Amino acid sequence: MTLLRAERVFKNYGANEVLKGVDLEVTAGQVVCLLGPSGSGKSTFLRCINHLERIRSGRIWIDGELIGYRQAGDKLYELDENAISRQRAEVGMVFQDFNLFAHYTAAENVMAGPVLVRGEDRRRARDQAVGLLTRVGLADKLDAYPRQLSGGQQQRVAIARALAMRPKLMLFDEPTSALDPELVGEVLEVMRALADDGQTMIVVTHEVGFAREVADLVAFLDQGVILELGPPAEVLANPANPRTQAFLSKVL
Amino acid sequence: MDSSASDDRGELEIRAIPARHPWRWAGAALVVLLAAMLVRSFLTNPRYEWDVVFSWLLARTIIRGLLLTLALTAVSMLAGILLGVLLAVMRGSPNRLLSGAAGSYIWFFRGTPLLVQLVFWFNLSALYPRIGLGIPFGGPEWASLDANALISPMTAAFLGLALNEAAYLAEIVRAGIVSVPAGQVQAAAALGLTRRKTMRRIVLPQAMRVIVPPTGNQTISMLKTSSLVSVLAIPELLYSAQIVYSRTFQTIPLLIVVSIWYLLLTSALTAVQGRIERRYGRYA
Mutate to test the interface with A, among B93, B184, B185, B191 (most CBs of A within 10 A): B191
Residue B2 predicted with pLDDT over 80:
no
What would the mean pLDDT of B148-153 be, rounded to a whole number?
A: 81
Mean pLDDT of A166-185: 95
Q: Is the pLDDT of residue B266 over 70?
A: yes
Please tell me the predicted confidence (pLDDT) of residue B136. Answer: 82
Fold of B52-277: MetI-like fold (1.10.3720)
Instruction: Give chain A's radius of gyration (CA, Å).
Output: 18
Domain boundaries, chain B: 52-277
| Cα separation, A25 vs A6, whole angstroms | 6
pLDDT, one tens digit per residue, over A36-46 is: 988 889 999 99
Q: Which residue does chain A place closest to B182, by CA atoms?
A: A99
Of chain B, the percentage scoring pLDDT greater than 90 comes to: 74
A85/B193 Cβ within 8 A = yes
Compare CB distances from A82 to B187, B191, B194 and report the shortest one's residue.
B194
Confidence of residue B263 (pLDDT cuts 50, 70, 90): very high
Element (H, E) at B119: helix B114-122
Q: Which residues contact B143 (CB under 8 A, 6 or more apart)?
A: B132, B133, B134
Quick one: average pLDDT of B164-172?
96
CB-based burial, B239-252: b 16+ in 10 Å, e otherwise? bbbbbbbeeeebee
Q: What is the pLDDT of residue B6?
A: 67
* Cross-strand partners of A12: A17
Helix B153-179 to helix B60-91 angle, to the nearest 10 degrees? 40
The residue of A47, A116, A148, A177 whose CB has the most chain B CBs within 10 angstroms, and thus the best one to mutate to test that interface, is: A116
A chain contacts of residue B183, beta-carbon cutoff 8 Å: 95, 97, 99
Q: Where are the beta strands (DSSP E) in chain A?
A: 2-13, 16-27, 31-35, 57-62, 65-66, 69-72, 75-78, 91-94, 169-173, 201-204, 217-222, 225-230
**pLDDT the model gives residue A241:** 87
pLDDT at A217 over 70: yes
Cβ-defined contact of B193 to A117 (cutoff 8 Å): yes
pLDDT digits (tens, 9 = 90+) for B14-71: 889 999 999 999 999 999 999 999 999 999 999 899 999 999 999 999 999 999 999 9
Vertex B206 angle, CA B202 and B210, to 5°:
150
Cβ partners under 8 Å of residue B136, min gap 6: none
CB atoms within 10 A of CB B100: 13
pLDDT at residue A68 is higher than 80: yes
ipTM above 0.95, yes or no: no
- Residues B208-236: what's their mean pLDDT? 93
Q: Quick check: B4 pLDDT over 70?
A: no
The Cα–Cα gap between A88 and A64 comes to 14
Asked if pLDDT for residue B5 goes beyond 80, the answer is: no
In this prediction, residue B79 has a pLDDT band, given cuts at 50, 70 and 90, of: very high
Amino acid at B151: I
pLDDT score of A169: 97
Distance from CA of B139 to the nearest CA of A (A): 34
Tell me what pLDDT residue B190 has.
96
Q: Give the integer Cα–Cα distance in Å for A93 and A240.
A: 31
